[in-house]
Amino acid sequence: MLDEPDVLAFLDIHPVFKGHVLVVPKPHVVTLPELAVESLTPVFGAVQRIGAAIQDALTAEGHWIAINNIVSQAVPHLHVHVVPRRRKDGLRGFFWPRERYVDDAEMAAVAAAISRALTG
């Protein structure tokens, strides 16, 4: 489907919906944080083009993009799921339950911890 110097794209053999595509970088990395900065444009440029192509080719109303890092990652190689979407297609939000913050203070503490990790 797509074979470029830095990226491959092919149909998922267990699709959420027909037309579900996996986009993978050719250099082996397991998770997104391991992907070299110079590989971001080739990989996510392909994701962008595949998303548009899925909508055009399959008359989808939109598309959903997902990446698993470690947890739920069936294959230990970074891959981006690009899934065609249509209104009332049966897919509701995320596949997992939502967890609420206890209060605004807990939410602020989590945000602060992430901010410290970004600057630390």
Catalytically annotated residues:
79
64 has which bridge partners? 83
Task: Give CA–CA dist 102/117, Å, rounded.
Answer: 22
- CA torsion 49-81-31-36 (nearest 10°) is 0
